[in-house]
Amino acid sequence: MTPTLSRRALALIGAGLLARPAVAQPVWPNRPVTLVVPYPPGGSTDNVARPLMVEWSRIIGETIVIENRGGAGGTIGAEVVARARPDGYTLLLFPTAVFTISPSMMRPPYDVDRDFAPIARVAASDAFVVVNPSVPANTIQELVAYGKAHPGQLRFGSAGNGTITQLQCEIFGEQAGVRLEHVPYRGSGLSVNDLVAGHIQMICDPAALPMVRAGRVRALASFGDHRHPEFPDVPTLLEVGLADRGAMSWFGIAAPAGTPQAVRDRIAATLEEALKSEQVARGMAIGGLRPAFETGEAFANRITGDRAIFADVIRRTGAGVN
């Protein structure tokens, strides 16, 4: 080495230009991804996860492991993700309630604004007022009349305290002037089973639609803005003056706070691609669901707006977790 080259090398070292080569960040994903569903199998959230998982896994080229962590209105599973490493390998598939209802009805062991990074909405649904055939009502008007004549005798099930499946029935009861008794379960699948068995009289949950199709229970009205194309004879609650316009039931995916923006963008892009699949749409439709992609500021605004709507409903109805 010449003296001139040695001096130049020393200068470069001093400037940091001969430091070790930069190590490229690994591209997400390079190992299996865990998708936490904060309810037991068989409910609406699980009915979003299962068809989505197949196509999304194909697109990202890695296995997606669904981990059902039910209980406490979805807060047990949500806490698992809130405390997970923010690297994009532990994600939460959550229904509306976890980010918009639970903060007003209970004290979850996390802060939804501080501990999570919402990534995208992936699905939406129109819930129905569904009754067991033992209820002497073939229309929503007949159900209201029966409920007024038998206050407290209509017991409705939900996917758990603080879930939208509770709050939508509470909204219906408030608008109809009917006193309903709430029976919380650890997930939608369990409440549907008890509805079919006659242990409860009604639910407001799209997870019941397979049993509606099978003729085991009856759908009397929907919470949607328009009649559901599969059930054109079932009116909306808006049509009969028994619902407010407001937040609808949807499902989103979030990562732990601190997850790199590049990883979150990659997750959102691959989700958007997966949701274009006809197989995903068909799979979700079985449970009364539909793909509905939204990300960025629009999704953040939806969460904030729906939280305000449900906080007002909770205040008006006095809905609580007990």
321 pLDDT more than 70: no
pLDDT band at 5 (very low <50, low <70, confident <90, very high): very low
Q: Which residue has the higher pLDDT, 63 or 17?
A: 63
Strand pairing class (249-256; 116-125): antiparallel
Q: Are residues 262 and 115 in the same domain?
A: yes
- Is 13 domain-assigned? no
Q: Which two tokens stand for residue 167?
A: 């709050």
- The pLDDT score that the predictor gives to residue 246 is 57
**Between 225 and 285, whose confidence is greater?**
285
- Which helix (H) or strand (E) segment holds residue 93: the answer is strand 90-95
Question: What is the per-residue pLDDT for 294?
Answer: 97
Helix orientation angle between 44-60 and 188-197, rounded to the nearest 10 degrees: 140
**Same domain for 259 and 115:** yes
Q: Which residue range is the domain that position 192 belongs to?
A: 128-222
Say yes or no: 112 and 152 in one domain.
Answer: no
pLDDT at residue 234, rounded to an integer: 95
Same domain, 100 and 133: no
- For position 12, what pLDDT does the model report? 43
Q: What is the pLDDT of residue 319?
A: 76
- What does R_g of the chain's alpha carbons equal in angstroms? 24
Residues 61 and 89 in one domain: yes
Please indicate, yes or no, whether residues 120 and 152 belong to a single structural domain of this protein.
Answer: no
Output the CA angle 73-75-77, nearest 5 degrees: 110
Position 16 scores a pLDDT of: 44
Q: CATH code at 186?
A: 3.40.190.10
pLDDT of amino acid 26: 60
CATH code for position 84: 3.40.190.150
Q: Report pLDDT for 247.
A: 60
Q: What is the DSSP string of 133-153?
A: TTSS-SSHHHHHHHHHHSTT-
What is the pTM assigned to this prediction?
0.79
148 shares a domain with 104: no
Residue 106 and residue 134 in one domain: no
Residue 304 phi/psi, 5-degree rounding, is -65, -45
Convert the pLDDT of each residue in 222-238 to its tens digit.
987 788 888 999 999 98
- pLDDT category of residue 320 using cuts at 50, 70 and 90: low
Q: How many structural domains compose the chain?
A: 2
The pLDDT of residue 244 is: 62
Per-residue pLDDT tens for 102-138?
Answer: 888 888 999 999 999 999 999 998 789 999 999 999 9
